Amino acid sequence: MSAQLSKADIPVDGQARSQFDLPPQRHPLIQTWQQFRRNVPGMVGLVLIVMMVALSLAAPLLTDANPGRMNTNAILQTPGGDHPFGTDNLGRDVFSRVLYGGRISITVGMLVAATTTITGMVAGVLSGFYRRLDSLIMRSADIVMAFPSILLALGIVAVLGPQLTNVIIALMVTSTPRAARIVRGTILQLKEKEFIEAARSIGANDWRIIGRHLLPNSMAPLIVNQTYVLAVAILAEAALSFLGVGVPPDQPTLGGVISDARAYLRYAPWLPLFPGVAISVLVLGFNLLGDGLRDVLDPRMKV
């Protein structure tokens, strides 16, 4: 008697296939993470970011010094003892000011990246999918991009006032056009593909095509771009605070600490050193993370 074949053993293309031949399909996010783990620059960047975020969040546990408390008996003390990073010209603890200033820098970067993602997606989809809106949206983006980003942000904050919310709005305005262009370019390529024509042929409306097909397939280049937006936003916030038009002076910021140290570089060179290193580590971390994500998410990098 011949053995009975199960449904999994039915020949396919002339070969019998067992139910144990095919490995179980893993979730795309798990596959992406496993590929990213093998990317050394990306993992280094992720470690740097996690370290800086953890230090900022753990500021109350790492120091009991109030970043705004002045002590006239401890002016311009060198690093060591109760003040690991020394004190500034008003006797304020630089270590606590760097930790709490890092919170503001990270918060600004995250919020700018999040809002830019939303506004860039909306503008890019409308521009790429509806050709009658393309000229209006892209010419508006060209006008914004014609100005140097830091000067435009400086002007917006000068008009609106030096507040954290206004800094975020200014940086969002200067960063949105690039995100919109990236999404628009991807939409223009995707909407001519066969699977979009197939979706139209079965009666899918525009919003279903955008939500189910175009947006998910256009997220990879946008995610990579937003890591660089994070780095640029952190630098821009530090620059605005350094110029005195960013976050109000009563809130410690990395750029503000460097600005306060300008007049004391000869006597206290450690004052700008530590906030400068914090900014550099944050920017380097996000740049390395962006490079790693590009290597994993960009099909052209997979040779």
Question: What residues does each domain of the chain span?
Answer: 40-58+79-301
Candidates 208, 142, 151, 199; CA nearest to 176 is 142
Q: 91-148, pLDDT tens digit by residue?
A: 898 999 999 999 999 999 999 999 999 999 999 999 888 888 888 999 999 999 999 8
262 phi and psi angles, rounded to 5 deg: -60, -40
Q: Which CATH number fits domain 40-58+79-301: 1.25.40.10, 2.40.160.20, 1.10.3720.10, 1.10.1330.10?
A: 1.10.3720.10
CA-nearest of 149, 151, 156 to 177 is 149
Closest alpha carbon to 157 in 147, 146, 168, 148: 168
Instruction: Answer for the pair 257, 94: CB distance below 8 angstroms, yes or no.
Output: yes
**Dihedrals phi, psi of 83, to nearest 5 degrees:** -125, 90
How far is 87 from 80, CA to CA, in rounded Å?
Answer: 10
Which of 118, 215, 127 is closest to 175 using CA atoms? 118
pTM beyond cutoff 0.75: yes
- Tens of pLDDT, residues 196-248: 778 878 877 878 888 888 888 888 888 888 889 999 999 999 999 888 888 88
The kind and range of the H/E element at 108 are helix 94-129
